[in-house]
Structure 1
Amino acid sequence: MIERTSCPNGVTIVHEKMPYVRSLALGIWVGAGSADEEEFEAGIAHFIEHMLFKGTSTKSARAIAEEFDRIGGDVNAFTSKEMTCFYTTVLGNHAPRALTVLSDMFFNSTFEEAEIDKEKSIVLDEIAAVEDTPDDDVDERLWATMYPDQPIGRPVLGNKKTIKKFNKKMILEFMERMYTPERIVISIAGNYDDRLIRLIEVHFGSFRRGKQLEQTISLQLPEFQGGLTVKGKDIEQAHFCLGFSALRVQDKRIHDLLILDSVIGGAMSSRLFQEVREERGLAYSIYSYYSAYKNAGAFMIYGGTAPENLKELADTIDTVIHSVQKDGITENELHNAKEQLKCGFLLGLESSESRMHRNGKSELLFQEHKTADEVITLIDNVEADQVRAMASELFTERRTISIIAPEDVLKGFEI
């Protein structure tokens, strides 16, 4: 059972006991990501994620790493468009020590200028790695075109211009604005006793940051815009990405979208995989995926093909999605998609780390937690006509295309 504890300062603790495991996963979730950044500070949420591992007033970066190695724990972090998470998985008996080190990183990181300068080089290398990976780069360029000049359309990593200007003052100002108690959730799942909850309250239950500034960014709902972006590059394969405006994460029809994703390109039996890869041999990699956020969402299709097959790939994708619009899906496709979703969901609940992630994210986004049976019921209740309606709503002429391919195949390509 998932329980919630509220600290006096507004920090929320969500905890789920799994007495049959020996592990304990603990995560500090912050409702702050790249969509909360001003243009001049693009990438700073992700940069802060890196910097919290670079030393505190009592521990160096090496000492932090050794602390987790000493207890055999895994420690990691990630930043998305709407949240940042610092987490660790350890044996249950080492949880108090892991919590102490994580809280030290969270509250006492020193952000020394020398470490900031070193980390700038590392993040710039990370940006360069994305640019050198066409299937990542084509997705980033898609988002920038779907939501131009808007925070949610910018890369989580930021850009070279903004990264080079980061300093300690900017870091502290962003944290003062965004790392406030009401935006923080501590999520734990696994083998623990109630003393750990009390220890979390000691570490996180009383801190306060300065007065939260008025958030102009969060009041501006992102506006999807169709378009075409192309990048010529001397590579062996053409990378094609197609995007449509989709549901926000809180939309009650999100399970209709999940089923549609599975049928279109989310499984080996999906229409895109069978038609593009198995029947036509146009691509090794072909799939659909979606991203749902609080204020925006997108449904995307990616395919990588030989440059001379780019036009046929694009036409085939159109044919597949139009077939779902026109004819809907079969009962067999509906059944298979439901079973795939249910299996993936239930298998994901078998580890303490996955439950910690699910609970932390649910608390930040919804402030509620559906049981496994409730989720299964929502999936089972989806009907074929709902999926067809979703396809008709999503797959409109208002679309975005992103292509990275050799220059000669880009000439004359139209949306």
Structure 2
Amino acid sequence: MGVEVSRLSNGLTVATETLPHVESVALGVWVKSGSRNEHDNEHGIAHLLEHMAFKGTSTRSAWDIASQIEDVGGEINAATSVETTSFFARVLRDDLPLAIDLLSDILTDCRFDPEELEREQHVILQEIGAAHDTPDDVVFDHFTETAFRHQTLGRSILGTPDTVKSFTPKQIHDFMARQYGADRMVVVATGAVKHDEFAREVEKRLGKVQARAPGKPPQNANYVGGDYREDRDLMDAQILLGFEGRAYHVRDFYASQLLSMILGGGMSSRLFQEVREKRGLCYSVYAFHWGFSDTGVFGIHAATGKDDISTLVPVLLGELKKAGLEIRQDELNRARAQYRAGLKMSAESAASRASQIARQMLLFGRPVPMDELMERLSLITVDRLTDLSARLFSTRPTIAAVGPIGSLAPFEDVVGMLPSPQPAMRVVAG
């Protein structure tokens, strides 16, 4: 049947996909607003809002929200990212109306009770403290802060203790009123769902949400790169090496995804085989590519002991140089197969499929058919990947390191070990 899409009277987008032989429904509301939509004095407010949504409405207490969904064996939760906030639930098919009502209630009638706010601020302060005590969390926070210095895209989603403690119910309400509107929201359900019935139920409960959010979109991000080091007395060192990636909409986005798999996407990847299996220089190494609406980050993470750092980094950089000279066809075929399998396997989960559809609707304004994604992947060639590698890894890097890192080469030395800067991008077919 595929994905069915409707627009409600206020412009709210509703999308569903019926999955045969599934007895449950995964549903949620995704909002195109996250931590990078915050003002300078609002660092962490998007995440706090997500927490406070479950702390009571005019008709339900926090206990009511939790107990009513769990009385029917369902689940309800939320998540905040850099560019989106999502509120989602999973229930059996007969309990879909309850789930719609709960999600709608917390999005349209939050009380932001001062006592509940004080408690939740304390919870988030504990969360911030726990993250600070976890080196592999800390290093990623400093990595993005360094890559996008002094920009909301580079800030921690959690906020700081000072900002979190400062927020009032009015500030949270004002942020929600400024950012949440039908033009920035999509409601998605997958599984045992009928589109027309679902759309009617959503219209009843969310049809009066303001048509347009008055808040301005965030400023375009500017990747700057740089160096961050924190010498700690730890058993191991966490090292991140990154470069400017590609936004969702640009030509090289999918090529960057495949390149990350070839370099560090599994046990057969170049970095895993060369750095971990052949040389034993670290216990964990992988590559990743994060795409955002206007930029991206390509990164490599390695976790190692202090005695191996001085050898590890040159080996990593050597593998990046090699990628700009040659990518083999068998590596490309394997990465394509991994990507294809990941998409198809995630589509077998109602929750994963709902999230995938929501992201596509927010980014592209439409669901992207699987065949179209496969066609895009099929057009990527080894020449295109080597061209991308040569350009990508010759730009200003971002380094973030936490742990016993005294033997880590200076930033300028790392820059000197990278490939020489490349000329402007040449056109490659596809």
Taking structure 1 as the reference length, the TM-score comes to 0.96
Query: For 1:95-110, what aligned pairs fall within 5 Å after superposition?
Result: 95-110=96-111
Counterpart of 1:9 in structure 2 is 10
What CA distance in whole angstroms lies between the structure 2 residues aligned with 1:206 and 1:252? Answer: 38
Map of 2:417 onto structure 1: none
Residues 193-245 of structure 1: per-residue CA shift (max 9 Å, x gap): 232220111111122278714x2x62x32111121100121100011001100
Give the match for residue 204 of structure 1.
206
Task: Specify every segment of 5 or more residues in structure 2 that has no aligned partner in the other structure, as ranges.
Answer: 415-430
1:19 Cα deviation from its structure 2 partner: 3.2
Q: Tell me by how many angstroms 1:143 deviates.
A: 0.5
Runs of 4+, deviation exceeding 3 Å: 407-415
Q: Distance in 1 between matches of 2:213 and 2:385?
A: 45
> 1:64 corresponds to which residue?
65
For residue 398 of structure 1, what is the aligned residue in structure 2? Answer: 396
- Give the number of equivalent residue pairs: 411
Per-residue CA deviation, residues 154-187 of structure 1 (Å, 9 max, x unaligned), is 0111112211111101101101110112111101
What aligned pairs does 1:332-351 form with structure 2 within 5 A after superposition?
A: 332-351=330-349
The one-letter code of the counterpart of 1:149 is: H
Distance 1:413 1:186 in 2: 46
Structure 1 residues 136 and 211 mapped into 2: Cα distance closer, same or farther (>3 Å)? closer
CA drift at 1:83: 0.3
Q: Aligned partners of 1:261 and 1:202: how far apart in 2?
A: 44
C-alpha distance in 2 between matches for 1:411 and 1:234: 18
- RMSD of the alignment, in Å? 1.5
1:358 aligns with 2:356: yes
Number of the residue aligned with 1:310:
309
How far apart are the structure 2 equivalents of 1:392 and 1:408? 30
Distance, in Å, in 2 between the alignment partners of 1:151 and 1:258 is 24
Deviations 1:107-148 (A, max 9, x none): 111101111111111111111111111111101101001111
3-state SS of 1:222 partner: coil
Q: Aligned pair in 2 of structure 1 residues 18, 408: CA closer, same or farther (>3 Å)?
A: closer
Alpha-carbon distance in 1 for matches of 2:96, 2:114: 31
Q: How far does residue 380 in structure 1 lie from its aligned partner after superposition?
A: 2.1
Paired residue secondary structure (2:288)? strand
Q: What is the alpha-carbon distance in structure 2 between the residues aligned to residue 101 and residue 190 of structure 1?
A: 19
Decide whether aligned partners of structure 1 residues 379 and 108 sit closer, same or farther in structure 2, where only a CA change above 3 A counts.
same
Aligned equivalent of 2:271: 272
1:74 corresponds to: 75
Following the alignment from structure 1 to structure 2, what is the Cα–Cα distance between the partners of residues 302 and 411?
A: 16
Distance 1:277 1:177 in 2: 48
Partner-residue secondary structure (3-state), 1:221 = coil
Is contact 2:24-2:93 (8 Å) kept?
yes
Contact 2:182 2:213 in 1 (8 A): no
Q: Please tell me whether the aligned partners of residues 56 and 65 of structure 2 are also in contact (alpha carbons under 8 angstroms).
A: yes
Percent of aligned positions that are identical: 35
Aligned to 1:165: 166
**Counterpart mapping for 1:80-91 below 5 A:** 80-91=81-92
> Counterpart of 1:76 in 2: which secondary structure?
strand
Who is 1:135 aligned against?
136
Does 1 or 2 have the higher relative contact order (CA < 8 Å, sep 6+)? 1
Matches within 5 A, 1:41-56: 41-56=42-57
AA at the equivalent of 2:103: L
The alpha carbon displacement at 1:150 in A equals 0.4
**In the aligned structure 1, how far is the partner of 2:5 from the partner of 2:164?**
37
CA pair 139-79 structure 1, distance change in 2 beyond 3 A:
same
Instruction: Report the alpha carbon displacement of residue 340 of structure 1 after superposing the two structures with TM.
Output: 0.9
Letter in 2 for 1:317: L
Deviations 1:294-334 (A, max 9, x none): 022000100010011112111111011110012x2111111
Cα deviation 1:276-307 (Å, max 9, x = unaligned): 10011011110011110102200010001001
Change (3 A) 1:407 1:345: closer
**Contact preservation (8 Å) 1:239, 1:405:** yes
Q: Contact 1:176/1:209 (CA < 8 Å) preserved in 2?
A: no
CA contact (8 A) 1:177 1:210 kept: no
CA spacing shift, 1:210–1:288, aligned 2, 3 Å: closer
Conserved 8 A contact 1:35-1:151: yes
Alpha-carbon distance, 1:37 to partner: 0.7
Judged with a 3 Å threshold, the aligned counterparts in structure 2 of structure 1 residues 91 and 412 are, in CA distance, closer, same or farther, namely same
d(CA) in 1 for partners of 2:242, 2:410: 20
Inter-partner Cα distance in structure 2 for 1:252 and 1:82: 21
Structure 1 contact 27–85 (Cα < 8 Å) conserved: yes
Deviation at 1:15, TM superposition (A): 1.1
- Contact 1:176/1:210, CA 8 A, preserved across alignment: no
TM-score normalised by L of structure 2: 0.93
Which position in structure 1 is the counterpart of 2:262?
263
Rounded Cα–Cα distance in structure 2 between residues aligned with 1:27 and 1:412:
47
- Is residue 2:252 matched to residue 1:235? no
Q: How much has 1:20 moved relative to structure 2?
A: 2.2
Instruction: Give the letter aligned to residue 201 of structure 1.
Output: E
1:185 is the counterpart of 2:186 = yes
In 2, Cα distance between equivalents of 1:4 and 1:369: 9
Q: Which residue of 2 aligns with 1:372?
A: 370
Structure 1 stretch displaced more, 332-341 or 370-379: 370-379
In the aligned structure 2, how far is the partner of 1:87 from the partner of 1:411?
Answer: 45
Distance 2:161 2:407 in 1: 29
Deviation at 1:397, TM superposition (A): 3.9
* Structure 1 counterpart SS, 2:289: strand
- Match of 1:252, SS state, is coil
Q: Distance in 2 between matches of 1:396 and 1:172?
A: 45
**1:195 and 1:398, CA in 2 relative to 1: closer, same or farther beyond 3 A?**
same
Per mean C-alpha deviation after superposition, the further-off stretch among 401-410 and 33-42 is 401-410
